[in-house]
Chain A
Amino acid sequence: MKRFYLTGAIGLTVLFQILSLTLVLLFHVKELNIPLLMFAVLLILFTFVSVRLVDRLMSGDSYLILIVNMLFSIGVIMIYRIKPALGERQLLFYAIAVVSFFVVYILIRQSPDFWKDKTLFYYLATLFLFAITLLFGLTHGGARNWIELFGVQIQPSEFAKIPFVFFIAAYYANAERYSRTVLFGRLRLGSAVLMAATYVLIGLFFIQRELGTAVVFLFVLLAAQFAFEKNRRLLYGNLALAAVGLTAGYFLFDHVRTRFEIWIDPWSDIADKGYQITQSLFALAEGGFFGSGIGLGSPGLIPLGHSDFIFAAIVEEMGAFMGVCVMLLFLILFYRGVKISMRQSSNFYSALALLVSVMFAAQGIIMFAGVMKLIPLTGITIPFLTYGGSSLLSSFILLGALQVASEDLRPDGEDLRTDDEDLWANWADEGDWAKRSGSGAEEVGR
C-alpha cells in the first residue's frame, strides 16, 4: 500500500512537471532550443532519480525528498517562466544540491555519533560565517550579505543556518552533561548561556540588517526551548526578551521602523518604499483562486518575483489554490519532521530533525505572511522555492541531515523521559515507515 502511495505521488509530481513545463515552453516558444528541452527533461529526470535513489538506498522517510522536489518544481518552473536564464542556473544549483544531499547523508550516516557533541565547533562555525560576511560582504538589496568566492556569489548567512541548527541540537542532546560543567566560578554551562550565545548571533544578524535571518534563528531557539527545555521559565523569559528586543529594535533602528511603516501603510509611498509589497498584492489579487495560467499573467511586474516574492508570482499564474498547496507542502514537511523527531531514539538526531523542520517552516511562514502583508516584510529565502544557489544548497544539506535522522539510530539519550508516552504512543506508532514495519510482501515486491 505504501509503495502504491509513493509511486502515485511520484507520478503526480511528474505529471505536474510535464503539464507546467509544456506551458512554460509554449510561453517561451520563440526561444525554443535544445538547452530548453534539456531543461525540461533534466528536471523530470532529477526529480525521478533522486526520489527513487532515496527510496532504494535509504531506510528512512522517502517522502521528504519527494515533498521537496514538488516544492522545487513549482519554484523553478515559475523562475524559468519569469527569467529563463535564472531558471537554467537554478536547475544547475539543484543538481549540485541534490548531490550534496547524498554526500551529506553518507557523511553523517557513516558515523552518526561523531556529529552529536561538536557544540562549540558549530557555534564557532556560525560565528565564522557571520564574520566573513561582515569582513568581505557586498551590499545587496539593503543587506550586506554576499561574498564573492572564485567568481561565485555566496550568501554565507544561508550556510550559517546549518551549523546553527546543529549547534542548538547538540547543546540539547548534551544538556545534562553541560549543566554539570562549570565555566567560571559559579557560572555553569546551562541553557541561559545557550540563550546568551544565540542572542549574540541574532543580535549580529540584526545589526547586519538581516532581520529575516535573525527572526528565523529566534524561531528555532524558541522551538528548541519549547520542545526540549526543562526549565519552562527560560522559554517565557525568552518570549519576553524577544518582545522587548523587537520593540527596542523599532525605536533604535531606522530600517526596522521603516519596515513597520511600510507594513501599516504601503500606499502613501507607493512609488518608492511601498512599491514591492503593493506589486505583490496586485499579483496575488490578479491570480484569484485559479490563477491566470502559466504565461498569461504578469509576474514580471513584481520586483524580485523570482526570489523574495516568488509566492506572489506563483499565486498570480497558478492561483491561490496552488498557494495553498505550497503552504500545505510545507506543513506536511514539518509534520513529517515532528514525527521523525518523536520516533528517533537518538537525542541529537531527534532534536536535529525537529529544528531543521522548524527552520524550513519558519522561513516559509515569514515569507508567506510577509508577501500577503499579514506581517511586516523581511526579505529571506523560502527553502526549495526561491531562486538562489546558497539557499538551495544549504536547504538540501539540512534535508540530508533530516534524512539521516529519519532512520533508526542507536539511542544516545541519557535521560529518555517518557512522561506522556501512553498518550501519544498509538498516534506515533501508526507510522507509515513501510520499511520499518517490515512487511515481507513489500520486500518481495521490491
Chain B
Amino acid sequence: MIRSRKRLAWLLFLLMIVFLGLILYLSLFQLVSAGELKENAYNKRNWMDETKVQRGRFIDMQGKVLVESQPQSDGTNKRVAHFPYHYAQLIGYNSKVYGKSGLEAKYNSYLLNIQNDNLFGKLKGNVLKADIGNDVHLTLNHRLQEVAHQALKGKRGAVVAIEPASGRVLALVSQPSFNANRIEEEWNSIVENKNSPLLNRPIQGLYTPGSVMKVLTATALLENNVNLDYEDKGSAVIGGYKVVNLNGKAYGSIGLQKALVHSSNVYFAQKAVDLGAAAMKESAELFYINKDIPFELPVTKSRVSYQAGMGQTELAASGYGQGESLLTPLNLGLAIAAVANDGVMKQPFIVEKVMAPSGTVLEQAKPKTLSVVGSPANMKILQAALLATVKENRSAASIRGHQVAGKTGTAQTSSGRAHAWFIGYAPYENPQIAVAVIVEEAGGSGGKIAAPIAGKMFNYWLNQR
C-alpha cells in the first residue's frame, strides 16, 4: 500500500471540482432554466390554487352567472361556462393543458384571490388560504349578448354595443365561436378552423370600414370648418384616380347631410383631400385611430396611415373608408358612441367591479373620458344627418317607438365579397345604446345584412328589456 499525501490531496482536489461543478450547475439552473420550468403546463404547482380555491364567478350586469366553478365529488373544482359559445373569446377558457385566455387570464389573481403584488401579500395569501375566489361583475347584459350572438350565428363577424354616456360595453360578440368548456377535447379542430374562432373579432379584428368611416370624416370636416357644399357628378378624378359613387349615381348640389344620406364617395373623397392629411390625422387620433385604446383586454390598434405628403389617392380613399384603412369594430363602436354623446368619447370598459365573497368591493370601474372628438354644436349637425340617413333610407335598423341614427357601410375587400357594416345609436334624443355591427364578406350590403342586426339590438334594448 502506498501512503501518499499527494495522491490524497489530488483526490480531494478532484472532488472539490466536482462539488463546485454541482454548485455552479444548480446556480445556473436557477438563473437560466428555472423561469421556464415554473411556467410549464405540466407543473402542477400552477394548478394548486385552482384545486384549493373555488375560482370566482363571472356575472353579468343583472346578476346572471355566466361562468362559475362547481365543486366536484372528488374535492376538485370544475370550471363551467353556462353559455360556452357566447363568451368563448371574451371571458375565455381555463385549461390545464392550454392555459387561460381572455378575462380568465386577465383576472386570474382576483378569481383565485391571490395577492401577487408584493412579497408580503404573497406570503399572507400562502399562509391564510382563502377557499373562495372573488367574483368579476361585467357591464355586459347577457340577454343583449344573446340577441347579437343569435343574429350573427352562422356568419363571421362582430358586434359591439356601448352605453355612450359611460363607455360601458353592453355586448361584445364574436362569431364564429367555440365551446369554452370543451377546449381540451376540441383544441385541434378549433386551432385548425380557418375561420379562426379563437380570434376575438370586436377587439382584435381589423376591417376595412367602408362608408361607416364617413361619420369620422364628417366629424373632421365639421371641426375644421371646411366648406361643406359640393357638386356631386357621380364620379371625380382625384390624384389621377377615378372615384365613383355606388352605381355611378350623381346627386348634384349637396351638403354634408345629403352626402351622408346618399353615402356619396366622391363627396368625402374630395373633402378629405381639401382638408389635407394633417387635419385628417389629427381628427383620427381623437378617435384613437393609430393609438392604443385602453381596455381590460388588449385591443389591436386601428390603422389609417396619414403621412405628410401622402398620395392624394390614398387620402381620398381614407375619406370614404377604403384604401389602407383598417379599424377594429370596438373602435367604430366608440366613434359612434362619441358622436351620440355630443363628442365626448368615453373609455370603454367591461368589468364593472370585482367583489369578494364577503361583499367587499375590491375594484370598481369609473367612467373616464378618452377624448373630445367634436364640439356639441357640430355633433348636433352630424347627429341630425345620421338620423336623416336612417330615416330616408328606410333602414332596417329603425325600430318602433324610438328614433335611430346611424350609417351603413359596404366595404370592398380584396376577396371581392364586401363587409357589411352598420354603426348607429338610439334613441336619437337621449342615446342609450351605440352599436357597431360587421358581417365579414357578407355577400350583401350593410343596409341589408348589418342594419337588421343593429335593429334587433335597439329593439331589444329599448322596447323589450
Interface residues of chain A, those whose CB is within 8 Å of chain B, are 172-173, 175-176, 223, 226-230, 270, 278, 281-282, 284-289, 292-293, 296-298, 301, 315, 320, 323-324, 327-328, 330-331, 334-335, 338, 341-342, 347, 350-351, 354, 358, 361, 365, 368-369, 372, 374, 413, 415-421, 423-424, 427-428
Contacts and interface: CB of A to CB of B under 8 A. Distances in A.
B308 interface: no
Contacts of A328: 19, 23
B1 A172 contact: yes
A231 to B, nearest CB: 10
Contact of B45 (A298, A330, A365, A413): A298
Contacts of B369: none
B34 A327 contact: no
A374 B3 CA distance: 34
B42 A270 contact: yes
B3 to A, nearest CB: 5
B18 interface: yes
Interface stretch (B5-13, B57-65, B263-271, B353-361): B5-13
Say what secondary structure dominates the interface of chain B: helix
B12 to A, nearest CB: 5
Interface in B3-38: 3-12, 15-16, 18-19, 22-23, 25-27, 29-30, 33-35, 37-38
Contacts, number: 138
B22 A365 contact: yes
Given A227-B4, A285-B33, A420-B4, A372 B26 contact: yes
Interface residues of B, number: 37
Given A342-B8, A372-B26, A420-B4, A282 B38 contact: yes
A420 B6 contact: yes
Contact of B37 (A281, A289, A358, A423): A281
A368 B18 CA distance: 11
Given A226-B7, A282-B40, A286-B38, A324 B2 contact: no
Given A289-B30, A330-B19, A331-B16, A374 B5 contact: no
B43 interface: yes
Say what secondary structure dominates the interface of chain A: helix
A341 B8 contact: yes
B3 A413 contact: yes
Find the residue from B34, B38, B40, B126 having the highest chain A CB count within 10 A. Answer: B34
Given A298-B45, A320-B27, A293 B123 contact: yes
Contacts of A323: 26
A335 B33 CA distance: 31
A284 B1 contact: no
Nearest to B36: A285
Contacts of B123: 293, 296
A374 B38 CA distance: 19
30 contacts: A223-B11, A226-B10, A227-B2, A228-B1, A228-B2, A278-B42, A282-B42, A282-B45, A284-B34, A284-B37, A285-B30, A285-B34, A285-B37, A286-B34, A289-B27, A320-B26, A320-B29, A324-B26, A331-B15, A331-B19, A338-B8, A347-B1, A354-B11, A365-B19, A372-B25, A415-B2, A423-B5, A423-B6, A424-B6, A424-B9
A268 to B, nearest CB: 12
Contact of B38 (A285, A335, A428): A285
Nearest to A338: B12
Contact of B8 (A227, A297, A372): A227
